[in-house]
């Protein structure tokens, strides 16, 4: 007699998987992570470019003020010359005439300027005595002066560039830096126990003219960056005038230089 087969229980395990909803949620989360990463990268790049733009403006201002400061601090310097007696004694070079003669009282003028019309940039001319064989008698572009009467540095703004016209062999003004929107200059005159700063136009109409009494010069530069995507870039200029926000970074820099050779 055949024995009945033993009854076997076979357990079938149900297969588990990811539902469509779960898949869509995972895709959305992944996409959000990617978008956040891209946004962070773009923001970092924008901030880095803005910092680079600002750093360049700061470096340009430092470079220019070093050149202008060197010229201003030496304004009116007279060289010493040997006397004809052969005693070894020296005297100041009385043949030095500066930029022009101040008639009352007579004294060479070694700093002068002009005001730009309205809010246009000013110009500034600084002068000092020179000697052809002295190696450091160089102008603002580093050339030895060919004018035996002195070294002349004339600073101006043209077509967005700060230029200097020196007294060396190079003809015409050369650019020192670009991205310059404004150059404003004020001249310090002694008044009581302090200094009063006036513009070139205000100084020129004083009676008598007092160019030879200028003791210091206050200079303002307004520089503009190259990028056009800087948010909140509106600012005020050298004369506190509002500057429209066009997305370009601007910086306003002030410096005051003492004219060391003025008899205050």
Task: Give yes or no for a contact between 141 and 155, defined as CB atoms under 8 angstroms apart.
Answer: no
Residue 244, pLDDT score: 82
Report the predicted TM-score, pTM, of the whole model to 2 decimal places. Answer: 0.75
Residue 1 located in a structural domain: no
Q: Using one digit for the tens of pLDDT, what is the confidence trace for 23-34?
A: 777 787 878 888
- Dist CA 125 CA 165 (whole Å): 9
Can you give the three-state secondary structure of the chain, one letter per residue?
Answer: CCCCCCCCCCCCCCCCCCCHHHHHHHHHHHHHHHHHHHHHHHHHHHHHHHHHHHHHHHHHHHHHHHHHHHHHHCCCCCCEEECCCCCCCEEECCCCCECEEEECCEEEECEEEECCCCCCCCEEEEEECCCCCCCCCECCCCCECCCCCCEEEEEEEECCEEEEECCCCCCCCEEEEECEEEEEEEEEEEECCEEEEECHHHHHCCCCCCHHHCCEEEEEEEEECCCCCCCCCCEECCCCCEECCCCCCEEEEEEEEECCCCCC
- Dist CA 226 CA 229 (whole Å): 9
Residue 93 located in a structural domain: yes
Q: Which domain holds residue 215?
A: 50-258
Mean pLDDT of 48-65: 84
Who has greater pLDDT, 20 or 210?
A: 210
Residue 226 located in a structural domain: yes
Residue 23 located in a structural domain: no
Residue 61 located in a structural domain: yes
Residue 53, pLDDT score: 77
Q: Using one digit for the tens of pLDDT, what is the confidence trace for 232-254?
A: 666 889 998 988 888 888 899 99
Domain count, the chain: 1
Burial class (CB in 10 A: 0-12, 13-18, 19+), 135: exposed
- Dist CA 223 CA 240 (whole Å): 15
Q: What confidence category does residue 64 fall into, taking pLDDT thresholds of 50, 70 and 90?
A: very high
Residue 123 located in a structural domain: yes
Residue 19 located in a structural domain: no
Residue 231, pLDDT score: 64
Residue 41 located in a structural domain: no
């Amino acid at each position: 007699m055949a024995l009945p087969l033993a009854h076997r229980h076979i357990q079938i395990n149900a297969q588990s998987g990811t539902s469509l909803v779960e898949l869509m949620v995972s895709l959305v989360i992944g996409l959000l992570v990617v978008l956040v990463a891209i946004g962070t990268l773009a923001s970092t790049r924008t901030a880095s470019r803005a910092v680079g733009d600002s750093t360049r403006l700061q470096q340009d201002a430092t470079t220019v003020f070093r050149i202008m400061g060197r010229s201003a601090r030496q304004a009116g310097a007279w060289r010493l010359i040997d006397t004809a007696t052969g005693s070894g004694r020296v005297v100041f070079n009385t043949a030095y005439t500066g930029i022009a003669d101040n008639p009352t009282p007579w004294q060479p003028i070694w700093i002068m300027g002009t005001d730009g019309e309205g809010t246009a940039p000013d110009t500034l001319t600084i002068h000092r005595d020179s000697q052809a064989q002295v190696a450091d008698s160089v102008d603002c572009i580093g050339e030895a002066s060919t004018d035996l009467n002195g070294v002349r540095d004339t600073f101006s703004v043209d077509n967005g560039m700060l230029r200097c016209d020196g007294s060396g062999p190079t003809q015409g003004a050369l650019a020192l830096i670009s991205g310059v929107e404004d150059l404003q200059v004020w001249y310090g005159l002694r008044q009581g126990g302090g200094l009063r700063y006036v513009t070139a136009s205000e100084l020129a109409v004083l009676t008598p003219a007092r160019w030879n009494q200028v003791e210091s010069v206050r200079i303002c530069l307004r520089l503009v960056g190259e990028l056009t995507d800087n948010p909140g870039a509106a600012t005020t200029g050298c004369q506190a005038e509002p500057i429209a926000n066009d997305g370009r970074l601007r910086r306003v820099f002030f410096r005051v230089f003492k004219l060391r050779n003025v008899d205050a």
